[in-house]
Amino acid sequence: MYQQVRQDAIMDILRKEGYVTVAYLTRQLHYSTATINRDLNALSRQGLVRRSYGGAELADPHSVKLPFRYHKMKTEKRLIGQAAAALIQPGDTVFIDGTTTTQSMAPHLTDIEGLTVITNNLALVEFLSGEGVDVLCLGGRIAEPPSMVCDAETVRQASGYRADKLFFSTGGFTADGVIGCGIRSPYRLLHKAMAAGATQRFFLADHDKLDAATEVRLFDFGQVEGIISDYRFPEETVARFPQTQFICVK
């Protein structure tokens, strides 16, 4: 297969899936990891794809399908989820939004006594309820198959609850302190509703979200109690938000 034909095939797969791992492409196209990486690097230089550890996505971040986002930054998400769960106290009621980053908290929640979780993530509901955790599932239409729920009804229900803490993630953030999302994100009103009902708010994001999908400004770092990330923020950013806790997991 000629290089251009191979790269066209990669783009066809990415347009269908949004995000893929290098391993997935090697299986689909029957080429070596080195060859696929060279093609992805070439497509990245053309501005057609964004590289991430172990994979790539379309330069348009809105098209990455949910099942493939679970494969992105898995090690970082695991560390972030563990650090976030450590902030929860026995007896807490917490909002956990429907993102793959916050779902990484799940294995660390099962032994917290008296915990109540409010979420729009059906996969998280299934896991935690099976482990005996008290879970309230927000209703509404599926926004991202197969497990993320979000529409006006979801926002209405979330607005009726109060929680000790909110744990959430979004499409991106900036190094100077803006938390944002893509203009087509279905979750921005839900994040606002959850934030309004929570006593403390914690933002979770891996470094791959730096300067990505921030067309809509949701919050600045001064509006959250903590930032949990593998990205080490500049000292001037930390100094600008003295009331915000910056937790770096690396």
Can you give the chain as a three-state secondary structure string? Answer: CCHHHHHHHHHHHHHHHCEEEHHHHHHHHCCCHHHHHHHHHHHHHCCCEEEECCEEEECCHHHCCHHHHCCCCHHHHHHHHHHHHCCCCCCCEEEECCCHHHHCCHHHCCCCCCCEEEECEHHHHHHHHHCCCEEEECCCCEEECCCEECCHHHHHHHHCCCEEEEEECCCEECCCCEEEECCCCCCHHHHHHHHHHEEEEEEECCHHHECCCCCEEEEEHHHCCEEEECCCCCHHHHHHCCCCEEEECC
Both tokens assigned to 107: 């294995």
208 residue type, one letter: D
Q: What is the pLDDT of residue 49?
A: 84
- pLDDT average, residue stretch 9-13: 86
Query: What does pLDDT average to over the chain?
Result: 90
Q: What is the pLDDT of residue 217?
A: 92
Band of residue 158 on the pLDDT scale cut at 50, 70, 90: very high
pLDDT at 39 over 70: yes
- pLDDT average, residue stretch 199-226: 92
- pLDDT average, residue stretch 33-52: 86
Query: What whole-number distance in Å separates Cα of residue 89 and Cα of residue 111?
Result: 11
Band of residue 227 on the pLDDT scale cut at 50, 70, 90: very high
pTM of the model: 0.76
| CATH of segment(s) 74-248 | 3.40.50.1360
Every domain range in the chain assigned CATH 3.40.50.1360 = 74-248
Every domain range in the chain assigned CATH 1.10.10.10 = 3-69
Q: What percent of the chain has pLDDT over 70?
A: 94
- pLDDT average, residue stretch 27-39: 90
Query: What whole-number distance in Å separates Cα of residue 250 and Cα of residue 248?
Result: 6
Q: What is the pLDDT of residue 66?
A: 57
Q: What is the pLDDT of residue 208?
A: 84
Query: What whole-number distance in Å separates Cα of residue 133 and Cα of residue 125?
Result: 9
Q: What percent of the chain has pLDDT over 90?
A: 64
Higher pLDDT, 6 or 90: 90
pLDDT at 171 over 60: yes
Band of residue 69 on the pLDDT scale cut at 50, 70, 90: low
**Opening angle at CA 83, ends 74 and 66, nearest 5:** 35
- pLDDT average, residue stretch 180-203: 92
Higher pLDDT, 195 or 28: 195
Band of residue 50 on the pLDDT scale cut at 50, 70, 90: confident
The third-level CATH classification (topology) of the domain covering 3-69 is Arc Repressor Mutant, subunit A (1.10.10)
